[in-house]
């Protein structure tokens, strides 16, 4: 069955450093992969979409990579700020044309 793995342990980093979050998927080959941010008690907010033929996508301090051979996407936040603290969800596209969401990784940026 299709499976998505994100590090369930919180990632703690110092302000100004680069945060790197990992999303691994198995048993399918998504044509698209999306990343969302979710704050406690709120709905997710879309951040970036990357296509299978794109190796990398950037938006301001955010960068996403998509390695279809490794079946992995990496999500980077450069020059991280305490306001970046949240849970980040990856959502590869599944065979039924829907998004399948990972469990998310909580990022804590300390001042």
Partner 1 sequence: DGGITQSPKYLFRKEGQNVTLSCEQNLNHDAMYWYRQDPGQGLRLIYYSQIVNDFQKGDIAEGYSVSREKKESFPLTVTSAQKNPTAFYLCASSWQGPHNEQFFGPGTRLTVL
| Residues engaged in binding partner 1 (CB under 8 A) | 4, 8, 31-32, 34, 41-46, 49, 51, 89, 93, 97-104
Beta carbon of residue 54, minimum distance to partner 1 (angstroms, whole number): 12
Closest CB to partner 1 among residues 9, 111: 9
Beta strands in the chain (DSSP E): 3-6, 11-14, 19-26, 32-38, 45-51, 56-59, 62-67, 72-77, 86-92, 105-110
The token duo for 89 is 């969800």
Beta carbon of residue 18, minimum distance to partner 1 (angstroms, whole number): 24
């Amino acid at each position: 069955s299709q499976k998505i793995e994100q590090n369930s342990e919180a990632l703690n980093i110092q302000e100004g450093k680069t945060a790197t979050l990992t999303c691994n998927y198995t048993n399918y080959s998504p044509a698209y992969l999306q990343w969302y941010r979710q704050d406690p008690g709120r709905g997710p907010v879309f951040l970036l979409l990357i296509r299978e033929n794109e190796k990398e996508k950037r938006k301001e301090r955010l960068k996403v990579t998509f390695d279809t051979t490794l079946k992995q996407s990496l999500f980077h936040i450069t020059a991280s700020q305490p306001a970046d603290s949240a849970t980040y969800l990856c959502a590869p596209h599944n065979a039924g044309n829907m998004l399948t969401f990972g469990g998310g990784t909580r990022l804590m940026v300390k001042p």
